[in-house]
Structure 1
Amino acid sequence: MSETMTQTERHSFEAEVSRLLHLMVHSVYSNKDIFLRELISNAADACEKLRYLAIAEPQLAGEGGFAITLSADKEKKTLVVADNGIGMSHDELKDNLGTIARSGTRAFLENLADKGEGQALIGQFGVGFYSAFMVADRVRVVSRRAGSDEAWAWESGGAGTFDLTPVDLAEAPARGTIVELHLNDSSLAYAEEHTLERIVHEYSAHVPVPIRLDKGEETRELADGSALWVKPKSAVTADEYKEFYHHVAMAWDEPALTLHYRAEGRQEYNVLLFVPREKPFDLFDPSRKGRVKLYVRRVFITDEAEILPAWLRFVRGVIDSEDLPLNMSREMLQKNPVIETIAKGVTGRVLGELSKLAETDAELFQKVWSSFGAVIKEGLYEAPERRDELFKVVRFKTTTSGDGWRSLADVVKDFKENQTAIYYALGEDEKQVLASPHLEGYAARGLEVLILTDPVDAFWVRTALGFEGKPFKSVTQGEADLDGVKPLDEDKADEPGAEVAGLVATLKEALKDDVADVRTSVRLATSPVCLVASDFGLDRMTEKLVARQEGKSALGKPVLELNAGHSLIKALAAKAAAGDTAAVTAAAPLLVGQARILDGEAPSDPAAFAASVATLLEKSLA
């Protein structure tokens, strides 16, 4: 080792790591056991990484296989977690243990400090190693990268700095990492054999690397590293599934759904997947990456293979193929026919199991849908070939559903006589949609309308042909085809009179620069006016979204619809019939402004609108 590599280096943690360590040391958690799960998971990942690299470079791993070894000394107050995995170089120790290189760190810290949810959040933000400071007042890490002739020690008391020191190879592992914890006085139970055995059994029994307890004169195996996913389903207990889910998903909730099966035929593969109950922190990460781990004959290959589509990215677990070559590169994975076959089969199986869950346990399915429905609906747009399967799974809030959810089958089953379409209303939130005047005519006829408030709704609903032969139709586009459906209270149904026809003609001329057309409406019941999109344009909400993206106020002129039975429209119609064109023309921009406000928008010219309202008030009070 050269002269320049014999000096200890002192570094400061990045600001957020220092804050995190302070919280780890000074906060109280209901379950400190998780620190050992995190260290074992890190050790298992290091072994899996080397196992993968050794496919192309066998000399890196050598002989003897992989293992994680625990040892403790209560008198010395130490606990050691050692592995013979990939190890870390000087720079990797500095970067990996001095920086949190994962998005979402700030959100993690806010939750940790403000809500005390450390137990639920550790493991989700790449901060698992730092949980060691919950039980240790000093941590020393000695690591040697596989194939390297250098070894380094990282050491810190969690007080803002860490030291990096070169280590003589005689005192370092042949490869891998040794994490030595100097336990604080309140955590000496973690130096006891029965405590370590309990934690390993509870949290880490199914990591794919053997875990051993070094007792000095003998070594005892705590976990055999057997892959849970290759065992028969009948040989696995519910607790074992839950433990493995916590390990592979880095989550603390219970899975809502467990899929464990072996596919045989042209391709053979084992599947162990879980559908969570709670949203993972990265559910809406822009990369939309899945987190399913791909193995080939129990050798970890990658967790970035596109096995499940992005709209099932919340699914966690393992897929282990018997038919892929061990030495295949990640580039080869992208367009591999075996992967495509596996992806097709597993996607279908997940959708099938979700559909079954909806039928057999509606309450649990509702929790799943509340967490992941917005993501699953992305598939309606991105995977049109899967729409028939997805339509069995997707659920909707509707104008008649209350706090519950409705399937499309439920909606069609309750169609009114002469109803020909599945009606929907797009909006930014449920409250806004329910306040829309466009729903009045549908409500007056007892018609159920889907409430679509997720961003993807505006896109899939335009490309979907329909369900069970019934097309989807927006309540804000084109003429409302409600004439065939009787109002619940037929006495309140007013037919437009001849006077209204004159009003329509006058308004068309007055508003020719602002609207594409003026007509009477059957979709209104209590509001005087509303704006709708033309028959062949975009839905009103979709138009707004597209215009916003293009930096425009609007893409085209809307259609103004009048409620012929409303007192205001009747009064204006009487003015038009009496030849008072000036009064109608003066009221015309107010009608459009009112319609825009009812549509959740501001008038196109707020100042002029306000001035006109003031003038009307003055006249009425004079």
Structure 2
Amino acid sequence: MGDWTRRIPFKVDISGIIQIMGSALYSRPDAAVRELVQNSHDAVMRRRQTELGYQGRIDIQQFPDEGIIEFRDDGYGLSADDAEQYLGTLGIGLTGLLKGEHPSSALPKGDQQDLIGMFGIGLFSAFMLAERMIVESRRVDCDEAIRWDAEGGTDIELSSWKREHPGTTVRLVLKPHFRRFAEVDESIENVLKEYTDFLTIPIHLNGSAARVNVIHATWFDPTPEPEAIELELASYFDETPLDVIPVQINRPAISGALYVSPQRTPGFADEAVVTATLRRMVISRRLRGLLPDWASFLRGVLELKECSPTASREDLVRDENFAAAALALESHLFDHLEQIAEQEPARLQAILSWHRYTFAGSALTETRLRSLLRRAYQFPTSQGLLTFDQILERSDANPIFELEADQVVWYNSDRRQEGWINSLFADHEAPCVHALRSFEESLLASMVADSGERAELRFASPGSPGFAAEILHLDDMQDASPEWADFFGDTEAIVRVAAFDENQPVMAFLNERHELMKTFEELKKGGVVPAGFQRLIDRHFEQGEQASNEVLLNRNHRLVARAMEQKTNSPLASVLRLLVVNALRTAGASLPSTALTQQQGDLDWIADCLWGQKS
């Protein structure tokens, strides 16, 4: 057999395509209702462009006894040629041709921006619901009407018809398991409300004088009233906005409104979602990825004129237009928040208080958001609630003690020490920030880093440079001798000696990181930490310094001074160790079991000495 070449055309199995649309392209069978309303909408909009006084309407009628549903419009209509060329051809839609969005488009284009259709597949979605579809139509400039009759996967019968007025009627003979769409009003009404609320053409169901769709929404007006927007958003979303953000962006063209939801989202994992519309047809009520990650508390409705829908019209294509819209919206949101920070700071404070953790967590990676929070986010401090800019203003370094820094920001990360730290900073101009949650500590560190090389963040602890001298007014602090350090070893605290108020023998300072590590170690011993979680914990503690709790012994105190003049096996040494353990436990430290055992031994030793017994 010799070599050969043959050119063959692509073949399409219509019934197979329809099955694919039903099972894969559209996630819901009621999408067919949306697609047919969309076709009627485009027909009405075409006629509006040619007749100044024409308004148009769409009617949907249910026939429960026959299992039929009809979609009627008085729009532009179809001629016999239109029906033959476009209704039965997958992938070539008349609207897409009019908009110039199909390669074969040769039709003259007017202003067709109000038309929704594009792909030429929407009509066939009706076969998800129907076993038969009949289209009766008359074009505005034709005397003859046509009738188009098809069943899924069969030939189409096209014939002349009699119809008095222009427009189109699409009749669906429903499959048995979809007859509810002909029998239950709510089955159609719910779909219409979900997708068509904002279409500018009235839609009526079963001859009702009242329209199903809202039609007008204040947030789409060029110059909307903020109070009207707030009332409509509250009604539409059934919650009271904390703040309303009107959106009117020219390039790219975006209109609508966003609002700050009163619903708190746990953690930072939830995404901001909006209702997105194209030419007022709802594409998605939970569109993700359009608003920035840090704005998970936002909801709203946006008309995205330059974005493109996916073929199923259940989402938007993630292309350069979508990216441009996302960028423009983020800039608009920042402009809004920065404006109210300047003009209505109390309003911004209320928003930040409600969504505090979301803002703080997100600002760790968003520089512009962090810049906004510097002047608006309030940290708890030893001087009350202060913004970072207020903290920095009061944290000028003392030139007597500092040569390397212009500002020193002190912080405490342990709630158990809050009162104790407040008392230490009571007489100081500089406040101590209580960064009691890990993300607030990280946020504080990032803000300090943003302030330049001459600003430093330091933990409120004797081991931090300058703390002993400037905050505690100690100029003679020293590490305990190796012998005494070993004597206090079971407490796992760093022990130092200094001179301070003679009435206080010991001061204890906790390190939250050390305490957290001890808690996880105990859980690990008990075997209650999952292996994957344990790996995360290990990596967390490997990345930072292995800090410890700290204890200051007061050499000005009689008992401390006498004890440290003796050997560590003296009764006074045991008393001193009891004071150290008590100071740590009072502060809230988690002591190891060996320290508690040693405590009992010290008590026994002291008791024996007091009773005059030999050790």
TM-score higher than 0.5: yes
Q: Partners of 1:380 and 1:361 in 2: how far apart?
A: 21
Opposite residue 410 of structure 2, the aligned amino acid is Y
Which residue of structure 1 lines up, in the alignment, with residue 458 of structure 2?
473
Partner residue of 1:177 out of 187, 212, 228:
187
Give the residue type in structure 1 aligned to 2:508: C
CA separation in 2, counterparts of 1:510 and 1:308? 59
- 1:529 aligned residue (497, 504, 507): 507
Deviations 1:224-272 (A, max 9, x none): 52344331234x361343222441xx3432x23211132223x222241
Alignment match, 2:585: 597
CA deviation after TM superposition for structure 1 residue 369, in Å: 2.0
Residues 489-525 of structure 1: CA deviation (Å, up to 9, x unaligned): xxxx4554xxx85954432232457647433479999
> CA shift at 1:577, angstroms?
1.9
Give the secondary-structure state (helix, strand or coil) at the position aligned to 1:382: coil
Q: Closer, same or farther in 2 for the Cα pair 1:420/1:481, shift >3 Å?
A: farther
1:211-250, aligned counterparts within 5 Å?
Answer: 219-221=209-211, 224-234=214-224, 236=225, 238-247=227-236, 250=237
Distance 1:244 1:205 in 2: 17
Work out the CA distance in 1 between the residues paired with 2:185 and 2:271. Answer: 32
Per the TM alignment, residue 412 of structure 1 is displaced from its structure 2 partner at its CA by: 1.9
In the TM superposition, what whole-angstrom CA distance separates every residue of 1:173-195 from its partner, at most 9, and x where no partner exists?
69971579xxxxxxxxxxxxxxx
Q: Is the 8 A contact 1:311 1:379 kept in 2?
A: yes
Name the structure 1 match of 2:255.
270
Q: Secondary structure at the match of 1:456?
A: helix
Answer with 1 or 2: which has the greater Rg: 2
Aligned residue among 519, 544, 551 for 2:496: 519
SS at match of 2:128: coil
Give the match for residue 564 of structure 2.
576
- TM-score, reference length from structure 2: 0.57
Does structure 1 conserve the Cα–Cα contact (< 8 Å) formed by 2:247 and 2:255?
Answer: yes
Q: Match of 1:258?
A: 244
Aligned pair 1:410/2:382, yes or no? no
2:241 is the alignment partner of 1:288: no
Q: Does 1:350 align with 2:338?
A: no
Contact 1:324/1:338 (8 A) holds in 2: yes
Distance, in Å, in 2 between the alignment partners of 1:528 and 1:484 is 17
Q: For the structure 1 residues 560 and 229, does the alpha-carbon distance in structure 2 shift closer, same or farther, using more than 3 Å as the test?
A: closer
Q: Within 2, Cα distance between the matches of 1:583 and 1:366?
A: 57
Q: AA paired with 1:530?
A: A
- Distance in 1 between the 2:341 and 2:442 partners? 25
Note if contact 1:213-1:219 (Cα within 8 Å) is conserved in structure 2: yes
The alignment status of 1:366 with 2:349, answered yes or no, reads yes
**Residue in structure 1 matching 2:299, options 278, 294, 316:** 316
Name the CA distance, whole Å, in 2 between partners of 1:388 and 1:504: 47
How far apart, in 2, do the equivalents of 1:527 and 1:271 lie?
A: 66
Asked if 2 retains the 8 angstrom alpha-carbon contact of 1:354 and 1:393, the reply is no
Counterpart pick for 2:486 among 501, 504, 509? 509
Q: Is the counterpart of residue 423 in structure 1 residue 410 in structure 2?
A: yes
Counterpart Cα distance in 2 of 1:356 and 1:522? 52
In structure 2, relative to structure 1, the CA distance for the partners of 1:49 and 1:368 (3 Å cut) is farther
Unaligned runs of 5+ in 2: 1-25, 45-56, 62-68, 72-124, 132-175, 399-405, 524-532
Checking the alignment, whether the CA contact within 8 Å between 1:423 and 1:472 is kept in structure 2 is yes
1:107-165 deviations in Å (ceiling 9; x for gaps): xxxxxxxxxxxxxxxxxxxxxxxxxxxxxxxxxxxxx9983149xxxxxxxxxxxxxxx
C-alpha offsets along residues 33-87 of structure 1, whole Å, 9 cap, x if unaligned? xxxxxxxxxxxxxx998897789xx56965358999999xxxxxxxxxx998xxx
How has the CA–CA distance of structure 1 residues 60 and 615 changed in structure 2, closer, same or farther, with 3 Å as cutoff?
farther
> What letter corresponds to residue 377 of structure 2 in structure 1?
V
Q: CA RMSD in A?
A: 5.2
1:474 maps to amino acid: F
Alignment correspondent of 2:65: none
Letter in 1 for 2:246: H
Q: What letter corresponds to residue 358 of structure 2 in structure 1?
A: V
Q: Give the aligned residue type for 2:187.
A: T
Please state whether the residue corresponding to 1:443 is helix, strand or coil. coil
- Check whether the contact 1:476–1:539 (CA below 8 A) recurs between aligned residues: no
Quick one: distance in 2 between partners of 1:377 and 1:327?
Answer: 35
8 Å Cα contact 1:399-1:451 kept in structure 2: yes
Closer, same or farther: CA 416–391 of 1 in aligned 2, 3 Å: closer
Q: Structure 1 residues 604 and 326 mapped into 2: Cα distance closer, same or farther (>3 Å)?
A: same
Equivalent AA in structure 1 for residue 430 of structure 2: L
State the match for 1:185 in structure 2: none
| Cα shift at 1:582 | 3.9
Q: How does 1:134-213 map to 2 (within 5 A)?
A: 147-149=128-130, 169=179, 172=182, 177=187
Q: Distance in 2 between matches of 1:573 and 1:567?
A: 7
Judging changes above 3 Å, is the alpha-carbon distance between structure 1 residues 378 and 334 closer, same or farther for their aligned structure 2 residues? Answer: farther
Give, in whole Å, the separation in 2 of the partners of 1:576 and 1:239.
76
Q: Is the 8 A contact 2:198 2:216 kept in 1?
A: yes
Number of residue-to-residue matches in the alignment: 441
**Structure 1: any 5+ residue segments left out of the alignment?**
1-46, 72-81, 85-143, 151-165, 181-199, 488-492
* Contact in 1 for aligned 2:506/2:580 (Cα 8 Å): no
Change (3 A) 1:337 1:169: closer
Distance 1:294 1:532, change over 3 A: same
Deviation at 1:273, TM superposition (A): 0.8
The structure-2 alpha-carbon separation of the partners of 1:344 and 1:169, relative to structure 1 and needing over 3 Å to count, comes to: closer
Pair 394,50 (structure 1): closer, same or farther in 2 beyond 3 Å: farther
Task: Name the aligned partner's letter for residue 295 of structure 1.
Answer: T
SS in 1 for 2:426: helix
- Counterpart of 1:23 in structure 2 is none
- Structure 1 residue 529 displacement after superposition: 3.1
**Aligned-partner SS, 1:172:** helix
For the 8 Å contact 1:526–1:566, the answer to whether it is kept is no
- After superposition, residues 28-47 of structure 1 pair within 5 angstroms as none
Alignment of 1:582-621 (within 5 A): 582-583=570-571, 586=574, 590=578, 593-594=581-582, 596-605=584-593, 607-608=596-597, 611-612=600-601, 614-615=603-604, 618=607
